[in-house]
Structures are given as structure tokens and as C-alpha cells.
Structure 1
């Protein structure tokens, strides 16, 4: 059996973090001895990790935290780990570990969310580290092509994200507002996610549809963008129409209470939230970024916007609000597509095959 350790910097509720936990949990069903390492920070996703999955927390304090590297090396040797599957920015500590433990193999999973702005990506350190990678998995075709062009790893492939949503037995969230009239935006409070345009669009929507509400679920980083978001709610007088819930672990429960799923990001890889909307059979609105067009390939699957400008977003929401028949039909078709083309079993079978091919 292959022994694989997933590495992620935190267990906060972001897309890359959720995917790392999903891999750690689900690979056990594919003849893999599975473990997970959080390098810098734990978080709510820790409760989602199966008891049978090995776990180590490094509490890494700096980029070159030698104590954290030695702690990780001890764990790897003790548990006879064959492959390190490093997600996002955790590639650096994985590379250091490879240098001091040459027999290890590194798979790097590129979740880079700003795939529309790759010209601004810092590449020098990543390019050096890519010399030590046996395989690169990219979450969309744009990142796949970029890695082939800019990095020094010979094996690069696009691997689809997949949704895994389990029932939560505690800390269940109750969404405010009227049932059947809730719009959900599942996205951390980052500028890339374009919440400000969404708020401006929603202000237009409630002029004619005042009973509808907007529900934002995601991490609040308490930064400048967060301040701007809450000021915008106040400025637009949306305090009784827009609700923010911060990080939540009962995502399936939240999806079941929602009516429409929306993402108006300026850039994405392949957003896990969009797959989760499909998993829960929600009608969707999404901007045409990353590989989102692969999911919403025509209007029968949902509404794909060429930009996230307020007026266009408002028009899209109003269409779904007014046309219940289209809402239901597109949601059902989108859900079937996600189930068929983004099946965890098919994707993980290919991932394990890639693991096995590493020499």
C-alpha cells in the first residue's frame, strides 16, 4: 500500500484546505494509508478529519522553522511515508523535507486562485522547488499550461476538484430570512471574491423583490477588505437584508436552506463552492473565470457572467428570482453534471494511478 501525507498550511475553511481534508479522508477507500499535516494553524476543518486518518500539527512559526521540519521528518520516517502531497503554499516545507529525506516523493497541488493574473505571480522560489517535484496537479487547465511553461517539473496534469459534503451533527447554523428566498455566497472575505459588486447588485434586486435575502458564509480576516465590506452594507442600508456568518463547518446544512448559489469572483481556479452548489442542487450564477465555463458550459446549467459588474449580476439574480421553472430545471441539470463529471471515485482513482507511476 502507498503511504501518502497531505500537507496544508492551515485548517481554516478555504477551498484548498477543504480539498486537502477531502483527499486525506477519501484516499483510505483507494488502498492508501492516509495522513494529514497542518503546518501553521489549525481550524474548524480539523473536526472534519476522520479518526482513522493520521494527523500531525507542526505549529510552524517562520518560513525556515527548523524545529518544524525536524518534527515533520520524524513523523514521516516513523510512519514510512512514501509521498508528500503538498497543497498550495506548503510546497516550500515539502521541498526542504525532500532535501533532507531524498527518498521521499513530492506531489504539488496548485490551487492558485488568481489564475486570471498569472503575470503577477511570484515564481522564482517556486521554480527552484519544482526541481524536486515528481508530479504537479493543477486545479484548472490555465494553471496546467502555466506550470508546463514556467516550472521545471516534467509531469504536470489537470486534476478536477471534487465536492464532499457530510452531515454535521452539531453547531448547526440557522439562516435568517424567508425560506425559499435566500441567496448564498460561499466565499471567504477576500478582494478576489468581489463581494462589493455583489452587494451593489443585491441593492438593485431588493427594490422589486424586498423579501429576498443575501447570506455570505466565509472567513473574516479582519482586514481592510473586511472593513470595506461591512461599511458597504451600512452605506447601502442592507443591514436587514444581508447576513454574514463567518466560517462555518455545516456547509451541507447551509446549502439545504438556500435557494440560489452565487459566485462573482474576479479570478478562480476551479471553485469548490461551485461544485458544492451543484452537489446540493442549487441553481447557480458564476463569473466566467478559471475553469468555471467547463462547469456552466451553456445556459441550461446556470448563468455564466462575462464580468462581475453590479448591473449584470443584478440582472442574473432577477432572472432566477422571476423564473422558478428555469431555476429548478437548470439546478437539476447542473447537479447531474457535477455528479457525473466530478465524481470523487473517478478523480481519486486517477490520482492514485499517478501516485503509483512515480518512480
Structure 2
């Protein structure tokens, strides 16, 4: 089998990580594994394995004929059979399908606002999805949505899976006191609700001032980002909450962290959650997306309802004060991730589904 992953960028987001993870995993199992990036390269380019064929299109417009024909030539030369297109790159895959009708298009839907699917635009997808051979959803809500709203039958739910990072150039040193750091791996987006984190940080500053928060994720330098920074200053949290931007040395960062959290208002199955588990971190997350299917409250982590700052704060206090509970949560979550979200297991499901889809 000859499969190409197609993604718009290699910024450090969940969809981008999964495009790289699939390309790397498949390179060891199939005849040809490629990764093509449409619009923008980014730090994840350093995570691509040597066995993956890589191409950057430098696409500058919605319909960019130079980029499209560059992609077509690559597909023809490498005899690609399946285009696995991630998130918004589906339109470029659709244009390619018009030029190469024999190509199979698989769309991987990573839509993050899965709690607000009623607001999702439909027209473009309804026009294009008849050209797809299959849809992969990162959570059950998206699979049901594809069946009911796109009337698409050949869809499958495949959870994200974690992957060990390659050694990069980052050597991040977290601020604060060793053994008293709380980390959040989340790009600075509205749906990640960093303001819940800041409200909790205000409370923790009073009760446990030596514990600090460490926010790792892309800073888009937009209104939301500016509001976060202003809130940190206004509430005198400069010594309690630290921003690091995009980082590639996630293992190194998690090794320096004691507790891991996600404060999101909406999620699919975040790669950050899987990375927390892979590195045996005790976690507190909000009960959105697929996270309640992964986390058994009080057994392998704490689940808290959205925007419940007092409950989130109490959960953090419990983990701060109970080191044994932190160890139990970390080990139990690791077992959950290893048994249910391993790369080997998901790739096997994926290849079996692809083979059946082509019959």
C-alpha cells in the first residue's frame, strides 16, 4: 500500500501531530509513506522520520495551480494510491481528485469544537464528501455527525495515539520550584479556556504560592493571547504563571512537571492527554469530548465539569497534598493509554479499514 498524508501546516497542533504520527508509523509497515504540507512548515518538520518521503508545496492561494500540479506530479511519480487528508486540507485533496480520479481520498476530521457541532459550516463539506472514500473521526460525536449530516456511511472512529518525540533543538528549562510545577499543553485558543486556569492560579497563589503553572503551546499573538497576558499582569501572577510558546521537547517538559492539566471547553481526543499518560503524569481535565471515555474519575485522574473553577482548584489541592495519589494516577493512566491507545493497535485498525474500504 502507498499512502500519503496531506496537511496544511506543521505547526504544533493536534491534527499536525497526528499527520506526522501516521506518516512515521506507516513508514515501517507499508510500501510507501509520504507527507505533504500545503501552506506552512513548522517545528514538527523535525519530527519526521527518515523513512518518510516529504514534500512542501508552499501553497499561497485557495486555488494555487502551481502547488496543485506539484502535488499531482509527486503523486504520479510515487504511484500514490491513497491520500489521507487531515482537517482543512480536504479541499486540496478534492482538487487533486479531479485531476487523478483513481486516487482514493480519506478525510481525517480533527474538528476541535465537537461540543458545538450545530454551528459547523456544512455546504462545502456536503459538496466535496461524495468524492471521498472514507472519513476518520477523532471522536464518536464526529462520526455520528458525519453519518447524520453528511450522509456518509463509510466512517470510522479512530482515537489519536501518542508517539515518542525525536530529539530536537529545544532544551526547555521550566521556571519555578522542582516538584511543584503544573503543566498545560494547549495552544492559546479560546476553546482551551486558559482563563479557567488563571482563576485557579489566583486561588492557588493564596493557598500554595510555591506551586506554579506552565503553559506550553502556540501563541497566535491575537486578542485571546493578549487578554491572557493582561490578566496575568493585572492579577499579579507573573511569578505563578509562565508562558513558553511552542516547544518540541515535550518529554523534557513533562519530566520537569508534577501535575498535568487541561481546562478546555471543547475537545476531541487531545494528543496532550495521551502524552500525559505516556509520561505517567497525574492529571486533572475537563469532562469534554472523549476525555470522559479515557479518564475514570478518581481512578486514573480527575474529571471536572467545564468552567467549575472551585472544583478544579479542589482537585489540584488533593493532588498537591497526596503524593501517593499522584503516583497511582500516573501509573494507572499509563496503563490505560498503553492498552487502548497504542500506535500498534490504532495503525492495525486503520490498515484493516483501508483494505476493506477499497474492496
Deviation string 1:5-32 (CA, Å, 9 cap, x unpaired) is 0011100000110111010011122224
Question: Can you give the 5+ residue segments of structure 2 that lack an aligned partner in the other structure?
Answer: none
Corresponding position of 1:12: 11
Contact 1:130 1:152 in 2 (8 A): no
Question: In structure 2, what is the Cα distance between the partners aligned to 1:118 and 1:169?
Answer: 36
Matches of 2:2 and 2:113, distance apart in 1: 32
Q: Aligned equivalents of 2:46 and 2:143: distance in 1?
A: 32
Q: CA separation in 1, counterparts of 2:237 and 2:25?
A: 41
| 8 Å Cα contact 1:133-1:153 kept in structure 2 | no
Match of 1:76 in 2: 75
Distance 1:29 1:350 in 2: 16
Partner of 1:119: 118
Matched with 2:175 is 176
Is 1:308 equivalent to 2:307 in the alignment? yes
Give the equivalent residue in structure 2 for 1:292: 291
Matches within 5 A, 1:94-113: 94-113=93-112
Post-superposition shift, 1:152?
A: 3.9
Q: Any idea what SS the aligned residue of 2:28 has?
A: helix
Larger deviation: 121-130 or 308-317? 308-317
CA apart distance, 1:206? 2.0
Give the corresponding residue for 1:228. Answer: 227
**Alpha-carbon offset, residue 167 of structure 1:** 4.8
Distance 1:131 1:228 in 2: 42
Per-residue CA shift, 1:174-225, capped at 9, x if unaligned? 1111111100000000011000111111110121111111000000001000
List runs of 5+ in structure 1 lacking aligned partners: none
User: 2:265 touches 2:307 (CA, 8 Å); kept in 1?
Assistant: yes
Counterparts of 1:193-204 in structure 2 under 5 Å? Answer: 193-204=192-203
1:248-287 to 2 correspondences below 5 Å? 248-287=247-286
Conservation of the 8 A alpha-carbon contact between 1:13 and 1:218: yes
Q: In the alignment, which residue of structure 2 is the partner of 1:155?
A: 154
Task: Give the Cα–Cα distance (whole angstroms) in 2 for the partners of residues 168 and 320 of structure 1.
Answer: 31
Of stretches 30-39 and 85-94 in structure 1, the one that deviates more from structure 2 is 30-39
Q: CA deviation at 1:310?
A: 2.2
> 2-side partners of 1:230 and 1:285: how far apart?
23
Question: 1:128 and 2:127 equivalent?
Answer: yes
Distance 1:241 1:219, change over 3 A: same
Contact 1:85 1:109 in 2 (8 A): yes
Deviation string 1:106-138 (CA, Å, 9 cap, x unpaired) is 011010000000000011101111101111110
Q: Corresponding residue for 2:24?
A: 25
Cα offset, 1:153, TM superposition: 3.0
Distance 1:167 1:96 in 2: 33
Following TM superposition, the consecutive aligned residue runs of length 4 or more in structure 1 with deviations greater than 6 angstroms are none
Name the TM-score, length of structure 1 as normaliser. Answer: 0.98
Number of aligned pairs? Answer: 358
Equivalent residue for 1:321?
Answer: 320
* Residue 246 (structure 2) pairs with residue 244 (structure 1): no
Distance in 1 between residues matched to 2:205 and 2:273, nearest whole Å: 24
Change (3 A) 1:205 1:354: same
Distance 1:288 1:175 in 2: 28
Specify the alignment match of 1:146 in structure 2: 145
CA RMSD of aligned residues (A): 1.1
Question: What is the TM-score of this pair, normalised by structure 2?
Answer: 0.98
Q: 2:329: which partner in 1? A: 330
Once the two structures are TM-superposed, the CA of residue 170 in structure 1 deviates from its matched residue by 2.9
Question: For residues 169 and 63 of structure 1, do their structure 2 counterparts lie closer, same or farther at Cα, with a shift above 3 Å needed?
Answer: closer
